[in-house]
Copies of this chain bind each other. A is one copy, B any other.
């Protein structure tokens, strides 16, 4: 079985990496799920004036400084997307495609997801709508699958599904070349609504509609209450106290996902507080 980590951090933005650095200093066994560019939002920032010590730095250069810090401390980013997390009582199970990771504590630093769910998305969740195509692929053998993809990982998932499904539609929600298998049909249109009776039957788009058995929506981040069933939400943010504790024991959250202002230092301070409290929680286990 997989080894059990002390702290699993979901997200590699300012909050996540600060949590990782602080937990590592305290000698905890840490895994960080995210990507090597750390944060798209940060990476693309043209000029940052309020990260003290780097006046007027570009996001790209600040990412480089952060990456260097992580390298100095031997902290690696695990470039995998966590699909769902289950509270197992005294530890958490993190599902990543068909792998499972275990951790004593959890720090959510997933950022905020911009954009609303599609019409019908919540209604048909688990009845044809899903967020991990690779996980559910076996259910769609010889069936029609539609993938609404927001990133290059979605392309990989589509390719995998296309080996099983009878037909795969891919709706790209990002600009980039897609190295999709030849048997995948690309549809350049805007999804509007997921329609069905007891389960998904159709996807309605702006200019057309598709008959489909399943719709996978592969966004950069999953809404926190879909990611961690049972977590308490306040408005559109994870509810935390001043120790960055959520309602679930051993589960902390920090950064944009816990509320405004959406600012780097605010997120980093919270990531630090989350990590230090997770550390003392572990030490008291």
Q: How far is the CB of A63 from chain B (nearest CB, A)?
A: 10
- A residues 24-75 near B (Cβ < 8 Å) are 25, 49-56, 62, 65-66, 68-69, 72-73
- Contacts A265-B269, A268-B265, A268-B268 given; indicate if A54 touches B52 (C-beta within 8 A): no
Q: Is the CB of A73 within 8 A of B52?
A: no
Q: Is the CB of B263 within 8 A of A50?
A: no
Q: How many copies does the complex hold?
A: 2
Q: Is the CB of B263 within 8 A of A265?
A: no
Is A267 an interface residue, CB under 8 A from the partner? Answer: yes
Question: Which residues does chain B contribute within 8 Å of A147, judged by CB atoms?
Answer: none
Q: Is the CB of A272 within 8 A of B276?
A: no
Q: Is the CB of B65 within 8 A of A53?
A: yes
Is A259 an interface residue, CB under 8 A from the partner? Answer: yes
Is A235 an interface residue, CB under 8 A from the partner? Answer: no
CA distance A280 to B47 in the complex (A): 23
Among B56, B269, B273, point to the contact of A268 (Cβ < 8 A): B269
- A residues 163-177 near B (Cβ < 8 Å) are none
CA distance A259 to B269 in the complex (A): 13
Is A134 an interface residue, CB under 8 A from the partner? Answer: no
Among B14, B69, B269, point to the contact of A54 (Cβ < 8 A): B69
- A residues 227-285 near B (Cβ < 8 Å) are 242, 259, 261, 263, 265-273, 276
Is A84 an interface residue, CB under 8 A from the partner? Answer: no
Is A17 an interface residue, CB under 8 A from the partner? Answer: yes
Question: Which residues does chain B contribute within 8 Å of A14, judged by CB atoms?
Answer: 52
